[in-house]
A = this chain, B = another copy of it.
Amino acid sequence: MESALRIELPPWLAGIAAGAVVLPAVDGRMAYVAELARRNAAAGGGPFAAAVFELASGRLVAAGGNLVVMSRCSSAHAEVVALSLAQQRLANFDLAASGLPDHQLISSAEPCAMCVGAVLWSGVKSLVYGAREEDVRAIGFDEGPKHPHWADALRASGIQVTADVRRRECATVLRDYAAAGGPIYNARNLRHRSKPRV
């Protein structure tokens, strides 16, 4: 087999000088991530972005976009890309490891079933998202079988969960992507398979 699994970052994303971005307010962090989502979609990715910040200082640790189609990897959601890059940069699989500052994941949209788990395992202490699940579903993407009380489960594990930060702005990125004919990948399967309604 290959010697590694590689998720290539598009040049605009690889070019972000993480340490140079410092955004003290959560609202500003989301404005930054919403713009990343727009840029990711414009560059051929999905209309989703996420970024890991140091919770207190607002220093950017890593930014990710949805790279499913271009990286040929259905797990390359924005949250997984950002969390994994942050962990590799800090050389630790646990962003809550001793000696590290607390970390926050800012996501332009509510995490899907997979990403809820990815957030839980990552060690972040805070999750903030913009667009809601219904905004994501409205353009045809599925969110999968999420636990009905997933946010409470994260909170019980010590992760703050905050919704609706710049929701309208993030939802507009989704709608603009759909209006421009952006591919709703996996939609073929969803049509074939019928949406899970559990």
Contacts and interface: CB of A to CB of B under 8 A. Distances in A.
Interface of A: 1-9, 13-18, 62-63, 68-69, 71-76, 80-81, 83-85, 87-89, 91-94, 96, 112-118, 120-123, 144-150, 152-154, 156-159, 185-186, 188-190, 192-198
Question: How many of these chains are in the complex?
Answer: 2
Given A1-B9, A72-B91, A112-B121, 19 more contacts: A1-B13, A1-B16, A3-B8, A4-B9, A5-B84, A6-B7, A73-B88, A74-B118, A75-B118, A112-B117, A113-B117, A114-B121, A117-B144, A121-B144, A123-B186, A152-B196, A152-B198, A154-B196, A157-B195
A75 B68 contact: no
B83 A75 contact: yes
A176 B73 CA distance: 33
Contacts of A121: 68, 74-75, 112, 114, 144, 186
